[in-house]
Structure 1
Amino acid sequence: MCHILVIFDRINLRVNMKLKYLIISFLILTLTYSCGQKQENVIAIDVLLTLPQDVYNQAVALNKSVLENNPNNFTLDAQHIPHITLIQAYVNESDVPEIEKVLEGLYETIENETLLVDKLQYNKGQEASFASMGIEKSEPLMRLHEKVIKILEPFSLSNGSQASYVQNEDGTPIDDFTFAYVPKFVSDHSYENYNPHISLGVADTSVLDSLETHKFRPTKFMAPTLALYQLGNYGTARKLLWESK
């Protein structure tokens, strides 16, 4: 909290009361504005599509198998929901109500479209690899992805801080990968580079081979909602800010 301390008895100036009043008013307005600017809170957000129960359950089951092989992963659950990211960005928290307004109506462009989980994505040439459930890049999904980028452009900021994220329960800091990924989402991971997916975590490739053969199921589905979340560690969707009706 900013404090303004004006002590005129320490200043050996002969000014009338009216001038003193003008000086005090100017200082208060200037410093209050400055303090207000410093207090602006920047948050990391994810505009995403939620999943129907069958796809949600498959993602949670696959993530559980990944965790059994490598516990140093995020856990998909009600506090870290599996999802399909459309965009990640930093924005001023004060802009969230306006962002919610511009997102209104966008779900109607995708609600009747059939999406497809078409493959288990991972690097088969490595001993261990990050894995995800790949989503087919259909025209309706790509149009929505590009539309969301366009309407969020006026709100997007170049960087945030540790405080921009929902904090880890164990007190550990947000990882460096997340910091590097979010501000470069549009430049490095969008448009022709966009890879719609449901993240599962890192596991041994032999484990992922087994999951691909025995547990992964290609699935057609419709997304239940479009939503806005505050991000947590590893790009997890942690805090629901808004959801389409």
Structure 2
Amino acid sequence: MSETTAIDVLFEPDVAMLQHAQAANARLLRAFPKGYALDAAHQPHISCLQRYVKTDKLEDVFAGVSKVLMAERPATWKLTAFKYYYIPWEGLGLAGIVIRPTSDLLAYQQKLIDAVAPFTVPSGTAAAYFTTPENPEIVEPLIEYVAGFVPNQTGKNFSPHVTIGLAPEDYLKGMLAQPFDDFEFSPAAVSVYQLGNYGVAAKKLKGWTLDD
């Protein structure tokens, strides 16, 4: 086991978001069958914090997240999805559904950063990620992305989203040009996952069901 683990503290969304994400993923797979399906190894989620942490301090990380959840009520939040986006990568795009940040979401993220900070390390290697014999690689941009998640993807830079899959960039450009019908959803659970390739939530390490 690596001394460092790449983690994602995330929300698992309710049925409203799950249905939209699954439908969008099916659409991408029709356009690009070599992409990936949303399944047990690719769970739809909203990343709130990605960090490299000391593997032997994971229980402390879980305790810190649990303490934050005792002071917050995310299940009562109404979040709004309002557009698609994608990150280009070698002619392909990693696509997602973008969510409007709220003051509650930003405050929650900062509390997570503070709770996990004592157990973080500045960077990691591919060994910090969950891999399988069939998919042993971790793309280099992901390693750098997680190292810079704080501050590059937090606070005023936070763009919450649900990743929905891979497709050719030309296809995604057309998809983004089409109207997007806004919809509301709520967080249903909080989990800590070990990250896999492309930043997917690959291995569940800890979870909490949310109550209203």
> Which category of TM-score, normalised to the shorter sequence, fits these structures?
0.7 to 0.9
Q: Does 2:150 match 1:186?
A: yes
User: Judging changes above 3 Å, is the alpha-carbon distance between structure 1 residues 137 and 41 closer, same or farther for their aligned structure 2 residues?
Assistant: same
Q: Which amino acid aligns with 1:95?
A: K
Contact 1:40 1:94 in 2 (8 A): no
2:79 to 86, 95, 115: 115
Contact 2:192 2:206 in 1 (8 A): yes
Which residue number in structure 1 is paired with residue 51 of structure 2?
Answer: 89
Q: Using the alignment, how far apart are the partners of 2:135 and 2:92 within structure 1?
A: 27
Cα deviation, 1:194-242, whole Å, max 9, x if unaligned, reads: 111111234344455347647x542211100111111100100011111
Helix, strand or coil for the counterpart of 2:39?
coil
CA-based RMSD: 2.4
Contact 2:6 2:194 in 1 (8 A): yes
User: Judging changes above 3 Å, is the alpha-carbon distance between structure 1 residues 85 and 207 closer, same or farther for their aligned structure 2 residues?
Assistant: closer
- 1:1-245 superposed matches below 5 A: 41-107=3-69, 108-122=72-86, 129-200=93-164, 201-207=166-172, 209-210=174-175, 213=178, 217-245=181-209
Contact 1:175 1:233 in 2 (8 A): yes
Cα deviation, 1:158-200, whole Å, max 9, x if unaligned, reads: 1222221110341431111211111111032211111111112
Of all paired residues, the percent bearing the same amino acid is 27
Q: Which has the higher strand share?
A: 2
Q: Using the alignment, how far apart are the partners of 1:168 and 1:64 within structure 2?
A: 24
Q: Using the alignment, how far apart are the partners of 1:81 and 1:131 within structure 2?
A: 14
Contact 2:5 2:53 in 1 (8 A): yes
Bigger drift between 156-165 and 65-74 goes to 65-74
**Across the two proteins, how many residue pairs are aligned to each other?**
203
Structure 2 regions of 5+ residues with no counterpart? none
Q: Which amino acid aligns with 1:65?
A: R
Q: Using the alignment, how far apart are the partners of 1:73 and 1:187 within structure 2?
A: 30
TM-score normalised by L of structure 2:
0.85
Contact 2:52 2:120 in 1 (8 A): yes
Shift of 1:79: 1.7
Contact 2:86 2:172 in 1 (8 A): no
TM-score normalised by L of structure 1:
0.74
Q: Which amino acid aligns with 2:84?
A: L
Contact 1:131 1:208 in 2 (8 A): no
Contact 1:232 1:238 in 2 (8 A): yes
